[in-house]
Amino acid sequence: MIQISSDVIRGYNDTMILYLLWDTPSYGYEISKKISEMTDGMYNIKETTLYSAFKRMEKENLVTSFYQSAENGKRRTYYQITDAGRSYYLSKCEEWQVTQDVVEHFIRKE
């Protein structure tokens, strides 16, 4: 199976995380697991990558964080999307469409 190089996908980590936060707040491992499941294991986000993405987006006010205790009493950091985060996500979706169209011209189809 071809592994995606993390350099290429780096610019879209935020997009994936914001997509998963769209409906409901979530926490680190849940997001990481969903990314692996949705991509059938083709992309596994590293924990340090995920954490630095959270902190960067928090600084840019795209997400906010809060603590919440889980069923088993474990305290987790949850992240919630903000309005700025939603509009950033939508602009990234548009950007991806354009990127895809542009790159598509250079992909051989034989």
Partner 1 sequence: METIKNYLESMFAQLPNTPEVWKAKDELWQMMEDRYNDLIGSGKTENEAVGAVIAEFGNLEELADTLGISQAMNQTRQANAKTLSLEDALAFVREKSKGAFVIGIAVLLFICCCTGPIVATSLVDNDASAGLGTVCMFLMIAAGVGLCVFENIKMSKWDFLKNEPYQISAETATQIYQESESYRSTSALLTAVGIILILLCVLPVSILGYLNISESLTSFGAAVMFYFIGTGVLILVSTNGREKAYKEILSLNSQSTIAGSYVPKNAKGEQYNSKELTAIMSLYWPTITCLYLIWSFLTFQWGHTWIIWPVAGIIHLLIKNLFGQGEK
Q: Where on the chain is the footprint of partner 1 (CB under 8 A)?
A: 27-30, 32-33, 44, 46-52, 54-56, 74-77
How far is residue 48's CA from residue 46's CA, in Å, rounded to a whole number?
Answer: 6
- Taking the complex as a whole, the smallest distance from the CB of residue 20 to partner 1 amounts, in Å, to 15
Give yes or no for a contact between 58 and 48, defined as CB atoms under 8 angstroms apart.
no
Nearer to partner 1, 26 or 89 (CB): 26
In the complex, least distance from residue 54 CB atom to partner 1, rounded to whole angstroms: 8
Nearer to partner 1, 8 or 102 (CB): 8
Largest CA distance in the chain: 56
Considering the complex, what minimum distance in angstroms separates the CB of residue 101 from partner 1? 31
Is 80 or 87 the residue whose CB approaches partner 1 more closely?
80
- Comparing CA positions, the residue from 74, 73, 59, 58 lying closest to residue 21 is 58
CA distances for 16 relative to 41, 49, 56, 109, angstroms: 14, 13, 14, 28
Residue 59 or 108 with smaller CB distance to partner 1: 59
One-letter amino acid at 20 equals: L
Find the shortest distance in angstroms from Cβ 46 to partner 1: 3
